[in-house]
Structure 1
Amino acid sequence: MPTPHEAPVTEAEWTIRSAEGDLFAKSWTPETPGAAPIILFHDSLGCVDLWRGFPERLAAGTNRRVIAYDRLGFGRSDTHPGRLQLDFVAAEARDTIPHLCEQLGVGEFVACGHSVGGGMAVETAALFPERCRALVTIAAQAFVEERTLAGIRDAKRGFQDPANVARLARYHGDKARWVLDAWTETWLSPAFADWTLDEALAAVRCPVLALHGDRDEYGSSAHPERIAAGRGAARLLPDTGHVPHREQEALVLDAIRSFLNGR
């Protein structure tokens, strides 16, 4: 919940209609929101509910509307009809964000994403340079690194335990196995090995803040450095792994609030 000096936040749930299926979305809106709203992009196993209290505190701390949504196949959104395509990171910006903005009345916005969601935020900033006022990435990958693949292989072995899949099903229901395979099999596919954000990064025109944990098991500091190079600031968070907004929430909130001040 917001601290006493922060404005109260109103929550609302939404259904985003698209040709591929319905997407679940949720918004957190301060009483008198200020500048451009923040769109959150979740990670490879994530969903709205797994952001937990972060969106509400982000909305209260920045005095901006915050919008999070479940990608197709995740959380409370409809089932994905097949396998992820190799261009799924760029496709999220191209195929989903126009529907979200139109149906939720969003003009200008801030793109903010965690892990692969950070890549989707980059692609969104690149595709909508006139509308994206700022870009924030949290533990994002900019290319396929062996450290990333090693972390995914370790996680895949861990999910051989049915109990771990059952925990994932608390958030994704009977889509849990698809969610897991979409992550591991896409990233570990040889066909995905040459994926990078380089082309999208070259098209980004807004200020950038790239946050990354110094103990991130899915990516080295090369990722935030590449994302921020010539575009903004890379900040390495001490004693932090792959989920900075949970491990160091106050630090992340303060960093984003300071970065967005006046934008």
Structure 2
Amino acid sequence: MQSIPTQEYWVNTDHGRLYAKRWLSPAEQANTHPPIVLFHDSLGCVALWRDFPSQLAQATGRDVIAYDRLGFGRSDAHPGKLERDFIRDEARDGVSQLRSQLGIDAFVAFGHSVGGGMAVGCAAAYPTDCTALITESAQAFVEERTLQGIREAQVSFWQPGQIERLARYHGDKASWVLHAWVGTWLAPDFAGWNLDDELRRVTCPVLAIHGDQDEFGSTLQPQRIAARVEGHSTVEIFAGVGHVPHRESTDAVLALVTAWLS
């Protein structure tokens, strides 16, 4: 894979600094196409996207921007616990500052897992600027399959060395990251959470990607995303694929996203 230039940033917010990184597409048209902004999952960060942002920039001919949410990766520690509306609130908090300080006008929102919900929130909050929305393995509502997957993952993290593995990416914030995920989703008052209101305000085209073996959500999730959006939406189900299609079927995801954006 050809190496492409990158830029790193520190984004100031009221609660701490966010780390961000930009992959600069070598394509001549990169400056004329809105960049793709990536939103990571509940245990994720910029580093855990691995080679995907670079591959995405080369395949689509667009710049790709990823950032660590507050409390994750290289960003500053979160000052407290996640609130019930943390998914929709990311659009007016971290994303607002990211866009302002990096000079991001029009953009494509691409989110994985809970990051898919945040991408939905951004498409709803910035309808004239978000030109396209891509969700991957996103949760649009709470279903038992999601909760069971989290319970099983919680047990696996009790095994020796697992929290240390998470600490490679989040440092001394690793325990907070894990508890924020498990504690938020398994809380009784989160059971009725959904993205229906945000989805109804999305006006751009939507591509909802999902694996039929996703342990954190059934195919009812992308179907609900498509059903609630009033504009054009496309659902793509990857057979035999789990929760991380961009890692499990990288070439297929790159080809799909590139063709769809074209």
**TM-score bracket for this pair, using the shorter chain length:** over 0.9
Match in the other structure for 2:209: 211
Determine the C-alpha separation between the residues in 2 that align with 1:103 and 1:63. Answer: 23
The secondary structure found in structure 1 opposite 2:108 is: strand
TM-score normalized by the length of structure 1: 0.96
Note the residue ranges of structure 2 that are not aligned, 5 or more in a row. Answer: none
The secondary structure found in structure 2 opposite 1:93 is: coil
Question: What aligned pairs does 1:121-136 form with structure 2 within 5 A after superposition?
Answer: 121-136=119-134
Are residues 1:198 and 2:185 paired? no
Determine the C-alpha separation between the residues in 2 that align with 1:108 and 1:237. Answer: 29
Q: Which of 77, 80, 95 lines up with 1:79 in the alignment?
A: 77
The secondary structure found in structure 1 opposite 2:194 is: coil
> CA deviation digits over 1:188-208, x for unaligned, max 9?
000111110000000000000
How far 1:96 sits from its partner (Å)? Answer: 1.3
The secondary structure found in structure 2 opposite 1:67 is: strand
Note the residue ranges of structure 1 that are not aligned, 5 or more in a row. Answer: 3-7
- For 1:247, the aligned partner's letter is E
- For 1:206, the aligned partner's letter is C
Match in the other structure for 1:64: 62
The secondary structure found in structure 2 opposite 1:85 is: coil
The secondary structure found in structure 1 opposite 2:91 is: helix
Determine the C-alpha separation between the residues in 2 that align with 1:17 and 1:44. Answer: 22
Are residues 1:237 and 2:238 paired? yes
Question: What aligned pairs does 1:1-263 form with structure 2 within 5 A after superposition?
Answer: 1-2=1-2, 9-31=4-26, 32=28, 33=30, 34-229=32-227, 230=230, 231-261=232-262
Determine the C-alpha separation between the residues in 2 that align with 1:110 and 1:9. Answer: 20
> CA deviation digits over 1:193-252, x for unaligned, max 9?
111000000000000000000100000000011112254111100110000000000011
- For 2:215, the aligned partner's letter is E
Determine the C-alpha separation between the residues in 2 that align with 1:30 and 1:10. Answer: 8
- For 1:22, the aligned partner's letter is R
Determine the C-alpha separation between the residues in 1 that align with 2:120 and 2:22. Answer: 21
Determine the C-alpha separation between the residues in 1 that align with 2:235 and 2:92. Answer: 26
How far 1:30 sits from its partner (Å)? Answer: 1.4
> CA deviation digits over 1:116-166, x for unaligned, max 9?
000000000000000000000000000000000000000001111131111
Determine the C-alpha separation between the residues in 2 that align with 1:94 and 1:225. Answer: 26
Determine the C-alpha separation between the residues in 2 that align with 1:16 and 1:227. Answer: 30
TM-score normalized by the length of structure 2: 0.96
CA RMSD between the two structures: 0.9
Runs of 4+ in structure 1 off by over 6 angstroms are: none
Determine the C-alpha separation between the residues in 2 that align with 1:238 and 1:169. Answer: 32
> CA deviation digits over 1:40-80, x for unaligned, max 9?
00000000000000000000110101000000000000000
Determine the C-alpha separation between the residues in 2 that align with 1:150 and 1:30. Answer: 39
* Count of residues in Structure 1 that have an aligned counterpart in Structure 2: 256
Determine the C-alpha separation between the residues in 2 that align with 1:104 and 1:217. Answer: 35
